[in-house]
């Protein structure tokens, strides 16, 4: 509860409560409800399919529809960046035909939606070690990233063959190379250097991390970037996620008080 009355509470406490309430109201009226960058662990495609007695592929296909709907909603809600965990570095352990299905859906999604990105000022970016994917997919991704690089609306960052620990290893190696070549003094390395060496270097700080389907784990996603992110877990299975669900997450964010270690 924000407002408390009674003799025990000083004017200063009341003033702080008023300021906080105003901040929350401001956040609700602000673009993205105060969220510049949201990320989503899209989970539950398999359970969505199992509940309907249809093949897993159908769940993943419906998951792509949820991606489309959510990207449009993110744009309409004024998010600067939306990062989606589409394929983790651990997802290679899935059966080969499921991996092939996921890659096929991704290929189809990028090919069919590129014109919509261009028309709507959406910038596509990939995070993760995507260069090891099939050469035609790598070419397509790089072509779309190039075509949309100067778009100034929402950035859609898709995590492909992504693992946060792998991302940090790659960043550590890049910094070590700079140190070995004398471009950087190891003792001058600050958090900002690590930020800049990560795949997300050109994205705003992560404000909100959402996971669907009721699981409450980070699963090696954006571990560094989530340091001060608000976490939001919903029971909605990913194929059922939509603009209203995104808005509910942003509303929950706007109602929270972020302290960044202060008080
Ligand atoms: C989790 O469901 C979801 C994934 C492993 C992949 C998410 C991929 C998509 C939504 C489709 C492709 C993405 C884009 C960006 C076009 P799960 O299979 O782990 O579900 P379960 O836990 O219920 O089995």
What is the Cα 51 distance to its own chain's centre?
Answer: 27
Catalytic residue numbers read: 43, 91
**55 close to 49: Cβ distance less than 8 angstroms:** yes
**Residue 139 Ramachandran class (φ > 0 left, ψ -120 to 50 alpha, else beta):** alpha
Token pair listed for 212? 């669907």
> pLDDT tens, 164-217?
999 999 999 999 999 999 999 999 999 999 999 999 999 999 999 999 999 999
User: By alpha-carbon position, which residue is closest to atom 15 of ligand 1?
Assistant: 86
Domains and CATH numbers, the chain: 2-254 (3.40.1180.10)
What are residue 82's phi and psi, to 5 degrees?
A: -130, 120
Question: Count of CB atoms within 10 A of residue 58's CB?
Answer: 15
> pLDDT tens, 22-40?
444 445 567 788 999 999 9
Question: Count of CB atoms within 10 A of residue 216's CB?
Answer: 7
Give the pLDDT mean for 117-129. Answer: 96
Please give the distance, rounded to the nearest whole angstrom, from the Cα atom of residue 91 to the centre of ligand 1. 10
199 lines ligand 1 (CB under 6 A): no
Please give the distance, rounded to the nearest whole angstrom, from the Cα atom of residue 181 to the centre of ligand 1. 41
């Amino acid at each position: 509860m924000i407002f408390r009355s009674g003799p025990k509470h000083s004017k200063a406490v009341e003033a702080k409560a008023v300021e906080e309430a105003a901040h929350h109201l401001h956040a609700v009226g602000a673009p993205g409800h105060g969220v510049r960058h949201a990320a989503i662990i899209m989970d539950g495609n398999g359970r969505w399919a199992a509940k309907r007695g249809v093949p897993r592929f159908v769940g993943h296909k419906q998951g792509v529809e949820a991606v489309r709907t959510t990207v449009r909603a993110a744009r309409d809600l004024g998010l600067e960046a939306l990062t989606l965990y589409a394929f983790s570095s651990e997802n290679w352990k899935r059966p080969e035909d499921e991996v092939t299905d996921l890659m096929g859906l991704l290929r189809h999604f990028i090919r069919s939606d590129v014109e919509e990105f261009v028309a709507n000022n959406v910038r596509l970016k990939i995070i993760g070690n995507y260069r090891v994917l099939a050469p035609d997919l790598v070419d397509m991704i790089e072509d779309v990233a190039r075509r949309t690089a100067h778009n100034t609306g929402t950035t859609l960052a898709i995590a492909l063959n992504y693992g946060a620990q792998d991302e940090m290893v790659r960043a550590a190696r890049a910094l070590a190379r700079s140190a070995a070549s004398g471009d950087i003094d190891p003792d001058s390395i600050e958090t900002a250097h690590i930020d800049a060496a990560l795949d997300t270097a050109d994205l705003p700080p992560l404000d909100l991390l959402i996971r669907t389907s009721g699981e409450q784990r980070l699963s090696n996603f954006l571990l560094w970037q989530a340091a001060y992110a608000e976490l939001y877990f919903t029971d909605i299975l990913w194929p059922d996620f939509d603009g209203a669900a995104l808005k509910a997450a942003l509303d929950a964010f706007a109602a929270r008080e972020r302290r960044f270690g202060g008080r």
